[in-house]
Amino acid sequence: MLKRFAVVAGVGMLLPLGVATSAFADPAPVGDAGPPVDTGVVVSDEPATVTSPDGWTLTVAAKDETELPIAPLTTAVSSREYLVGGTFTGTVTGKGKGTLTGGTLEAGYQIGCGIELGQIRLVGSVGAQTANANLFTGAIPTGVTFPLVGSIEVHPKPGTVTQVPVDKKSFKAAPARITLKDVHIKVDGCLGQSFLRSYATLTSSTADTDDIVAYYGVTKTV
């Protein structure tokens, strides 16, 4: 009987060791790595081109764009802040009839809010209460409290688009260029999702005309 008990005990001690060895030998399952880290890099859209009635060809383009959402310094949940960058260029080519006198190149960003934070107001009243109303004898009783009764009303507005110009360059002769690096842009009063895209506007002028072409980047949803 003693011998049999020893054999059973030995098997019981070896079993956990075998299970542990098998666990170490099997490769660990690969878990879900989660969504990729947002580096801020965005794809630029195709250049925008237009030929003016007098024969000049205007082209505005962008490259090396970055748009990275970051935590706002105000820490408000209704604020949106982004770290942006990119290179925007404007060219005027061709053999037009008029004489070019110069123009401007403007670059910036458009921030769209699904819902804009509207008016916030308190609906209710402030009153005085006593611990025991029956004890009031003309003097101010002890235990007086001033409760704030009511609720807060939030009136959201339909979404709006805020245009944030970053730089505007005047030139006498194209090409013109604007390069942005780690520029902070911000909008307040924005609820829910926000949408961000770059823009660049090229204006070419003669003595009597202005020709304008605009570039809009790929929209990024945050």
- Note the pLDDT tens digit of each residue in 128-144: 454 444 444 444 444 55
Q: Answer whether residue 4 shows pLDDT above 50.
A: no
> How many C-beta atoms surround the C-beta of residue 140 within 10 A?
8
Quote the CA–CA distance of 12 and 2 in Å, as a whole number: 16
The CATH number for 40-118+153-222, chosen from 3.20.20.70, 2.60.40.10, 2.60.40.1650, 3.40.50.620, is 2.60.40.1650
pLDDT band of 27, cuts 50, 70, 90: low
- For the segment 84-103, the average pLDDT, to the nearest whole number, is 94
DSSP 133: G
What pLDDT is stored for residue 77 in this prediction?
84
Q: Answer whether residue 94 shows pLDDT above 80.
A: yes
- pTM score, whole prediction: 0.68
What pLDDT is stored for residue 159 in this prediction?
73
- For the segment 208-217, the average pLDDT, to the nearest whole number, is 96
What pLDDT is stored for residue 20 in this prediction?
43
Domain residue ranges of the chain, discontinuous segments joined by +: 40-118+153-222
Q: What sign results for the dihedral spanned by CA atoms 183, 188, 192, 195?
A: negative
Quote the CA–CA distance of 179 and 107 in Å, as a whole number: 9
Strands 148-158 and 161-171: unpaired
Looking up tokens 């235990």, which residue turns up? 143
pLDDT band of 37, cuts 50, 70, 90: confident
- For the stretch 102-158, pLDDT in tens is 999 999 999 998 876 654 444 555 554 544 444 444 444 445 554 545 554 545 566
Looking up tokens 């842009």, which residue turns up? 185
Quote the CA–CA distance of 73 and 36 in Å, as a whole number: 25
Q: Tell me whether residue 67 is exposed, middle or buried, using C-beta atoms within 10 angstroms of its C-beta: 0 to 12, 13 to 18, 19 or more.
A: buried
- For the segment 215-220, the average pLDDT, to the nearest whole number, is 96
Quote the CA–CA distance of 160 and 110 in Å, as a whole number: 10
